[in-house]
Structure 1
Amino acid sequence: MAQTPAIALLEKHRIAHRIIEFSSAHHAGDYGRSAAAELGQSEQQVFKTLMVELDGKRLAVAMVPVAGQLDLKAVAQAFAARKARMANPQDAQRATGYVVGGISPLAQKKRAPSLIDASALTFDEIFVSGGRRGLEIAVAPQALIDLLDTTVAAISG
């Protein structure tokens, strides 16, 4: 099993987690829903990590269930920004050190402020990218929130 910076961070902080590898060959561009199907998990419990740009300047992380859509107005409000938009994929890859479809909220190259949809707290564990396509990490949402100093908000529409 490949070690990624995301897995190394969880191990360093002794945070309980499970690592699940699966074939990422049939994603057709929708990595999150493909991951949920491969894992046999609800699309509400598998979270995608999205990079957003706030006020045209700084990047931030937003984690939402793959079943939902990111509410950019709610993201802007939660970050006290005037506007939020999806980050350019190349900018996201450069800032995180991960490829699109495998961006983990954990151990990004440049630490960015983060939000997670409040629905995460309804689960004992959620699934987030482990840092590459076809690698997911199951972790308690509160452990993830505490480790990343993440803000919880209703950001999924």
Structure 2
Amino acid sequence: MKQKDEKTNVMRILEQKKIPYTPHFYEESGGPEGDREYGLHVAQALGQDARQVFKTLVARGASKSIYVYEVPVAENLDLKKAAKAVGEKSIELVHVAEINSVTGYIRGGCSPVGMKKQFPTVFHQTVLEFETVYISAGKIGAQVELPPDALLQLTRAKTADIIFEG
């Protein structure tokens, strides 16, 4: 049975910074098949608008620098646009096996808040269209809902058009 009151590191950081948030918990369903399907599953499990639920993608630039990208769960990161947003020639997603050593999180529970280091972070520009958005609370089965302006300030993130246009 899930502990509804167990705090994640993300929740502790938000409280420490006095950022209001609402925790949301969901039953985990066997893990990420594909990030897109998994993200949509989470949005549906919580009755959320998929455009308001952001997934965390970690990438490495041609310069070997690490970058964090936040895109709506139903969307795919456009690597060219993402590279341009951070001034890199090119970027590629970090291999799943490296996610933990780079961020301190596991795949499916990666959050832009509370990584081992503060990496340059870019949210898809639609983040500003909502009063609140959802991100991972740092573990599978938990999310936090919070105002995007507070989230952008906390992660020192910028916004850009970083998704594929259908």
The TM tier, using the shorter chain, reads: over 0.9
Residue of structure 1 in register with 2:62 after alignment: 55
Deviation of 1:57 (Å): 0.9
Moved over 4 A (4+): none
**Backbone CA RMSD of aligned residues:** 1.2
2:18 is equivalent to residue 11 of structure 1:
no
Cα deviation 1:65-118 (Å, max 9, x = unaligned): 011111111110011000011111122211211110000110001221100000
2:86 is equivalent to residue 86 of structure 1:
no
Deviation of 1:56 (Å): 5.7
Q: 2:21–2:146: 8 Å Cα contact kept in structure 1?
A: yes
- 1-structure distance, mates of 2:130, 2:69: 18
Q: 1:24–1:34: 8 Å Cα contact kept in structure 2?
A: no
Deviation of 1:27 (Å): 4.7
2:79 is equivalent to residue 72 of structure 1:
yes
Instruction: Look up the SS of the partner of 1:40 in the other structure.
Output: coil
- The one-letter code matched in structure 1 to 2:26 is F
Runs of 5+ in structure 1 lacking a partner? none
- The one-letter code matched in structure 2 to 1:47 is F
Runs of 5+ in structure 2 lacking a partner? none
2:145 is equivalent to residue 138 of structure 1:
yes
Aligned equivalent of 1:42, options 33, 37, 49: 49
Report the number of matched residues.
157
- The one-letter code matched in structure 2 to 1:87 is V
- TM-score normalised to the size of structure 2? 0.90
Instruction: Look up the SS of the partner of 1:61 in the other structure.
Output: strand
Instruction: Look up the SS of the partner of 1:64 in the other structure.
Output: strand
Cα deviation 1:7-65 (Å, max 9, x = unaligned): 11100000010000110125552331111010111111110001011116121100000
Distance 1:56 1:32, change over 3 A: farther
